[in-house]
Amino acid sequence: MAMIEVRVAEIIDETPTIKSIRFVRADGRPLGVYQAGAHVDVLTPNGVTRQYSLASKPEDPDSYMVAVKREPNSRGGSAALHELKVGDVLQISEPRNLMAIDPDAGHHVLVAAGVGITPMLSIARYLDLHGQDFDLHYFARSREDAAFLGLLEEKCPQKLHAHLGVPRTEHRAILAEELADLPPKSHLYMCGPAPFMDLVQELAEQQLPAEAIHRENFDAAEQPDASENRPFDVEFEGNVYHVPADRSLVRVLQEEAGAEIDTSCEEGICGTCIMAVLEGEPEHRDNVLTAKEKAANDQMTTCVSRARSERLVLDYF
């Protein structure tokens, strides 16, 4: 995967636990515009790669901004980024979008909790700039914990619905009321902790078709115990390779077939390693593909997903 060397241009404490970090290209060239809702891979100073949504103006080519919450049980990603200083240099990927705005939607419903506001900020900026109809529901523990709340109140006060300090036990009732009687051709976009998004998904599915529900997952899907894995064969470029129960599909393709497959998270959350499925039935174990995409069985993440059939035939996506 091609990486871009960037320099930290600005760091702001948005909340006691969330910092916004603005990157510019180290060589002074523009980074380029991106699609609202996109994210980048960030190679942290300690060698850990993590995915972070972009919160800057999508049409601004000069800089990208991410927001990073320091997690108490961080495996190195958020902790390392919270130690960055202005002027530090690191590498990021080109933006990728797993939650693109649907151009045919008549109304957009944005639902965020905590640091999940990050992609919604770029989406709200875009929708507001282009005069598209939307509502933004933002859940946070308190005003102090609500990153970018002041900016949203300034830029889109009529569209913002801030739910601050609401006990989790009341989330269902609030969301059920807010998602009832949505306008025709509505599309919903969500980001936040996995349990929160599961609740939003459950309620949204009562109102909207699956293809109108979009979510961004940066939490790995729960994986079956490795003892439940079964071996299978994969055909790639005319040759057949065996994938034993204790090896991932992507590793076999890279190491035995010489396949040039980029990887990043290796947890089924970033979509970097997706390949096309020409024959066979995958066993989807990722948090990237939508329910509709999984049902089509014409693509799969190769880092965590496996096969239901005895054999898969794959090609580059």
DSSP class per residue in 211-260 = GGEEEE--SPPPPPPGGG---EEEEETTEEEEE-TTS-HHHHHHHTS---
Is residue 184's pLDDT more than 80? Answer: yes
- CATH architecture classification, 3-93: Beta Barrel (2.40)
Question: In the CATH scheme, what architecture does the domain 107-216 have?
Answer: 3-Layer(aba) Sandwich (3.40)
**CA 57, CA 47: separation in Å to the nearest integer?**
28
Task: Name the packing angle between helices 171-178 and 194-204 (round to 10°).
Answer: 40
Q: Which tens digit of pLDDT belongs to each residue from 208-250?
A: 998 999 998 766 667 777 778 999 999 999 999 999 999 999 9
Report the topology of domain 226-316: Ubiquitin-like (UB roll) (3.10.20)
pLDDT in tens, 148-179: 999 999 999 999 999 999 999 999 999 999 99
> Token pair of 291, please?
């329910």
Any idea where the domains of the chain sit in the sequence? 3-93, 107-216, 226-316
